[in-house]
Every structure is written in structure tokens, then in C-alpha cells.
């Protein structure tokens, strides 16, 4: 697998944990959009595209995200505890696309963070770019040359 293109759009606010959105192209044939570059407790990480988990309204059967208070379709009030607080920990969203193993995740994250650093420099934020964790150049993927970056 070769990452053939990565684009980064910086978040307008510098105070938020969400730093940027990214799109990557794999093998020049497959695009993954809406990757998020987020400031976590241990530095930056790349979050894969995800969707909110849903359940159905007991009245009309319409789909609603798990924290909704009212049905999106019929407006009926939804039960308050459709998911327990314990179950909700980390389970309100599901990845749409994700790496199968940690090596792949690390390679993809490194390529995206490198593109993020370059975009920060282009935006005149070089000091911030130098603080990005994961400053090494991306490793070649499976004997291929390093991924091409915009």
C-alpha cells in the first residue's frame, strides 16, 4: 500500500483540540476523507473517519444517535438511559475506515502528521510545526519509495 497524496486543511481556531482535517489517497485509487488531527493527552494523533452510533425510536422506528433526547423523525421524547454510562465510554462513535494493525496505523499517522507539519510551515506557523510529535520522515511502505506528499 502506498500513500500517494495527503492534503491537510488547518482548523481556523488554534485553541481547540481539533487541529486539522485531512484527506489521503492510497495507491492513487482509493480516497479516505475526514481524518482528524487531534491534540490528545500524549500529543497529536490521527483519528479515522467515524459516525455516531444510533438506535431506533420506540415510537416510529427512526434512527437517532445515542445521546439524542428527541426523535429526529417524529419528535417523540426518547428514553434517557438508552445506553449506560459504562457502555458509552468510547462507544458513541464507530470508525468508518481504519487500519487493521498497529504497524499500518503508525505508518499512516506518520505520513499525515508530516503533511500537517508542512501545511503549518506553508501557513507561516513554523514554530508550531517544530513542536509536532512524530517529526521523523515517513518510512517507506513495504519496500516502496517514501509516500509522495503535496
Q: CA 139, 32, 102, 136: dihedral to nearest 10 degrees?
A: 30
Please give the pLDDT value at position 93. Answer: 78
Q: Distances from the Cα of 78 to the Cαs of 24, 70, 88, in angstroms?
A: 38, 5, 16
At which residue does the C-alpha cell 496505523 appear?
105
In the chain the domains, ranked by start, together with CATH numbers, are 3-49+96-130 (3.30.1120.40), 51-95 (no CATH)
pLDDT in tens, 39-93: 988 889 999 998 888 899 999 999 998 889 999 999 999 998 777 666 666 677 7
pLDDT in tens, 100-150: 999 999 999 999 999 999 999 998 888 887 877 553 333 333 443 444 443
Pairwise CA distance, residues 70 & 55, whole Å: 12
Query: What is the DSSP-derived secondary structure letter of residue 76?
Result: P
pLDDT in tens, 119-132: 999 988 888 878 77
Amino acid at each position: 500500500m502506498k500513500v500517494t497524496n495527503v492534503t491537510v486543511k488547518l482548523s481556523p481556531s488554534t485553541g481547540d483540540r481539533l487541529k486539522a482535517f485531512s484527506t489521503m489517497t492510497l495507491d492513487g485509487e482509493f480516497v479516505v476523507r475526514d481524518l482528524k488531527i487531534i491534540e490528545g493527552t500524549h500529543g497529536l494523533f490521527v483519528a479515522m473517519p467515524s459516525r455516531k452510533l444510533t438506535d431506533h425510536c420506540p415510537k416510529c422506528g427512526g434512527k437517532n444517535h445515542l445521546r439524542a433526547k428527541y426523535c429526529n423523525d417524529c419528535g417523540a421524547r426518547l428514553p434517557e438511559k438508552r445506553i449506560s454510562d459504562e457502555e458509552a465510554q468510547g462507544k458513541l462513535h464507530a470508525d468508518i475506515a481504519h487500519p487493521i494493525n498497529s504497524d499500518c496505523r503508525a505508518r499512516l499517522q506518520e505520513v499525515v502528521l508530516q503533511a500537517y507539519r508542512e501545511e503549518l510551515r506553508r501557513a507561516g506557523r513554523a514554530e508550531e510545526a517544530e513542536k509536532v510529535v512524530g517529526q521523523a520522515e515517513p518510512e517507506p511502505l513495504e519496500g516502496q519509495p517514501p509516500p509522495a506528499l503535496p
